[in-house]
Structure 1
Amino acid sequence: MNNIEIKISKTSRIRFSISFFIFALLWMSGLEIVAAVLLPQHLTNLMGATAATALFGILNAVTAAASLIANLMFGNFSDRTRSVFGRRTPWIVGGISLLLMGVLNNSWAIGISYCICMFGLNMMIAPVIATLSDRIPNDMRGTMSAFMSAGTTVGASLGTLIGARFISIQIPGFITAGVLMGVAGIFTVIVWPKEKSSKDMPPVKKGFGDILASFRPPVKGARDFWLAFVGRSLLLFSYYMILNYQLYILENYIGQGKEAAAATISVMSVITMIVGLIGSIGSGAISDWIGRRKLPVIVASILLAVGYFLPWIMKSASSMMLFVRFCRSWLRCLRRSRSGAKRRCSAVQRRSR
């Protein structure tokens, strides 16, 4: 499919643009309602601040592994699906049933439930991402990716903002999160052009060993790939190490109450959304204007480190607001500046295979 020139109408382009944006907006909003606000507060209510912090860290690690496995697994399964509804649609819709989870009071049940939710979420995400190469022309993939990126940015901010409103009445918040993630899949398959049947496509004859081999990372001539991989991993690890614990930092380190922390998170969400969108647009223009990629990455990394120190030095609610204002814009700068490197790394990876 990737070697065949794909042509779509103007109407289809609009429908794809809307569906990619809304899909990312809805699933990220639903996830952040739970992950950023309601789940950490729910754990605190159940077992106290100290035990909740430890369990929250374990849950993040376990669900990260579950998400990775699910994304790879369902992406491959959707490649091999043959049905009258196409290859991607059945998996997008199928993921919905695993997202509407209740609020549990046992730590093991919460962990298992959260992992199942990640499997359901990635059952939708993996096929949607695969659609970019299946059904979108080469010259439009960057634009569609930008719509998804914008939806993710806005969705993350809206999710924490909505979650903060439900911090004292959590069950409606959990239900809202499940509905948003479920609607994301339904909306996508309804709005974008109907996928053609895949029943007549030749079946994939490769075995399980070939599936595993397809996940092998590049080894020879892949210096840029590994530099980008390690750099991006460290970048995301450092940023989300603070952001994922923002509620605990506000309550246990800075000393705010539940309602005050929720109000601070609401302000942080608005700042994150505005600064993130501005940074996303402006950083790409600056990088193109100076014609360099590495220099903006180096400068942004140093300034990010300064932003990380602010909550530690100032120890106030305003320091957390400065943290998201300072870091979010430069994080977007880093991501946009690395887009060229990412394309080069992908080419290296394909050649090595």
Structure 2
Amino acid sequence: MTTSSKTINNKALLPWQTPNDVQQKKFPVRTAVALAIGVVLWLGPYLALVGVLVPQQVARIDPGSKTQAIALMSTVAMIVSTIANIIEGALSDRTRSKWGRRTPWIVWGSVGTAVVILFWGKCTAIWQVVLSDSVYMIFLNMIVAPLIAVIADRTSPKYRGTISSVYALGSAAGQYGGQAFASLFLPVPYTGFMVMAGLTLLSGPIAGLILHEKSTKDMPVDQITMKNFSQNFAFPTKGAHDFYLALFGKLCIQTASFAISGYQLYILTDYIKLHGGTLQSYVTMISMILMTTAIILCIFAGPISDKIGRRKMPVILAGGLVAIGSLVPMFSTKPWIMLVYAAVVGIGMGMYNSVDQALNIEVLPDAKTAAKDLGLLNMANNGGQVFGPIFSAAIIGMVGYHGIFPLACAMAIIGSILIIFIKDVK
């Protein structure tokens, strides 16, 4: 750790302790680089798969029930992901090894995830797709929960907005670049699965190498008892008012985002009526607009949040932009309308993601269970990826594709309102 060896009152900061503003005099560049590269290499392939390659695979296997199949896959994945987040995040918090707390998890998670992707691409039945996605989630969360916890482990409060922006920058590149990259493999889908497996395989080892965690073999760990079990392996219950407002606010905003992006391919084919080369070009353009706007906001929003000392206001404003952008496609089926949607929502999600992780860290009930609790907050991302398609599938069945857009708008507004009620964070 770059600054963990700084001393205050002649007492060295231990490898598993979080530095305060006095101890960490410089921005933790090494941590930032590891986070950005790590998240690009797991999130890019993930959203390439669930946003483009797997929907295409499902449509090929069972075109008549593709929306229901995606909703089923997402539901099962959320259940598995929730359990995995709690258990793997909690175990990561308690891991004592010469490679630190987080590195062993993200490395082995990368290996397992890559292997599952190769099997996933060979699926020829819906049940196989659902099972592959579920196993994939087990290994993927071995990367996600520990990697996010690195922010809490190694960043003092004064740099959390900026490092949240760095994480969001990597997220934006992975999220939108991954989908644009995946569109290149629509004619050769299994090649796409192999490439995504290879990229994911690099995520943990590269991030771990850059992080260069110090040994936690001497880290004190309380023995698990019935009394402290819930603290270590369950949802927090004490001092968690703001935690749950942040959790459900995040869930609503992410649901709004994924209600549309989770069905992006089907919106373009069945609502906008695009096919062939035009479809591929629009998938690419939308992804690039979302990525570009998000990256621009990532550069500015986090550092500004640090400078003004505010976390809630940028998140609330971002939720409002997502609401407005989500409503735009309801008014036209012209292809250009999706480009307008991408620009507005890209700005909103760029601002949101830039400050979100900083807000999450400041509502944690207990620093000792950071990976577990941040994993639970991150579960809202997975929940959004599940509830978005589920709600969209229901709306499509009732009123058609144009019903998705007011649904997403309403969810974003509800999420913003929940963030307003957070008390102990400015």
Decide which of 293, 312, 320 is 2:338's aligned counterpart: 320
The residue matched to 2:90 in structure 1 has which SS?
A: helix
1:240: how far off? 0.8
Question: Shift in Å at residue 115 of structure 1?
Answer: 1.2
Q: 1:278 is matched with which residue?
A: 296
The one-character-per-residue Cα deviations of 1:283-332 (angstroms, maximum 9, x if unpaired) are: 56887899987776666545433322222221122111111111121233
How far is 1:185 from its partner? 0.8
Which whole-Å deviations, capped at 9, do the CAs of 1:6-31 have from their partners, x for residues lacking one?
Answer: 96898x94332221111111111111
Q: Is the aligned partner of 1:149 residue 2:149?
A: no
Q: 1:228, 1:62 → 2: CA distance? A: 24
Structure 1 pair 336/79, CA: closer, same or farther in 2 (3 Å)?
Answer: closer
1:40 maps to 2:55: yes
Question: Is the CA contact (8 Å cut-off) linking 1:217 and 1:349 kept in structure 2?
Answer: no
Note if contact 2:44-2:178 (Cα within 8 Å) is conserved in structure 1. yes
1:346 counterpart SS class: coil
Q: Does 2:100 match 1:86?
A: yes
How far the C-alpha of 1:202 sits from its partner, in A, is 3.4
- Is 1:252 paired with 2:270? yes
- Residue number in structure 1 paired with 2:260: 242
- How far apart are 1:35 and its partner, in Å? 1.1
Task: Give the equivalent residue in structure 2 for 1:65.
Answer: 79
1:171 to 187, 190, 193: 190
Residue correspondence of structure 1 range 176-191 to structure 2 within 5 A: 176-191=195-210
Q: Which runs of 5+ in 1 are unaligned?
A: none
> Are 1:218 and 1:348, in contact at CA under 8 Å, matched by a contact in 2?
no
User: What does 1:11-50 align with in structure 2 at a 5 Å threshold?
Assistant: 13-48=28-63, 50=64
Q: Structure 1 CA distance, aligned partners of 2:262 and 2:98?
A: 41
Compute the RMSD of aligned alpha carbons.
Answer: 3.3
Q: Using a 3 Å threshold, how does the CA distance of structure 1 residues 35 and 14 change in structure 2: closer, same or farther?
A: same
Q: Which runs of 5+ in 2 are unaligned?
A: 1-15, 369-426
Residue of structure 1 in register with 2:329 after alignment: 311
Aligned residue type for 1:199: K
SS in 2 for 1:316: coil
2: CA distance between counterparts of 1:226 and 1:8?
Answer: 29
Whether the 8 Å contact between 1:157 and 1:269 is mirrored in structure 2 is yes
Letter of the 1:317 counterpart? P
Corresponding letter in the other structure for 1:211: F
Matched, 1:2 2:20: no
Map Cα deviations across residues 40-78 of structure 1 (whole Å, 9 max, x no partner): 011111111x31111011112221222222122111112
- Superposed displacement of residue 132, structure 1: 2.8
- Using the TM superposition, name which of 287-296 and 262-271 deviates more: 287-296
Note the C-alpha offset of 1:105: 1.0
Q: TM-score, structure 2 length as denominator? A: 0.71
Distance 1:275 1:53, change over 3 A: same
Task: Tell which deviates more after alignment, 70-79 or 138-147.
Answer: 138-147
Residue 80 (structure 1) shift? 2.5
C-alpha distance 211-167 of structure 1, shift in aligned 2 (>3 A): farther
SS in 1 for 2:198: helix
Task: Tell me, yes or no, if the aligned pair for 2:322 and 2:345 is still in contact at 8 Å.
Answer: yes
Give the Cα separation in 2 of the matches to 1:228 and 1:328.
21
Look up the match of 1:118. 137
Q: Which amino acid aligns with 1:95?
A: G
**Distance (whole Å) between structure 1 residues aligned to residue 163 and residue 367 of structure 2:** 22
The one-letter code of the counterpart of 2:193 is: F
SS of the residue 1:83 aligns to: coil
How far off is 1:236 after superposition?
A: 1.3
Change (3 A) 1:238 1:349: farther
Identity over the aligned pairs, expressed in percent? 29
Shift of 1:334: 4.3
- TM, length-normalised to structure 1: 0.85
CA contact (8 A) 1:44 1:52 kept: yes
- Mark the CA change 1:272 to 1:300 in structure 2 (over 3 Å): closer, same or farther: same
Contact 1:280 1:329 in 2 (8 A): no
Moved more, 333-342 or 226-235: 333-342
Change (3 A) 1:316 1:294: same
Equivalenced residues, count: 346
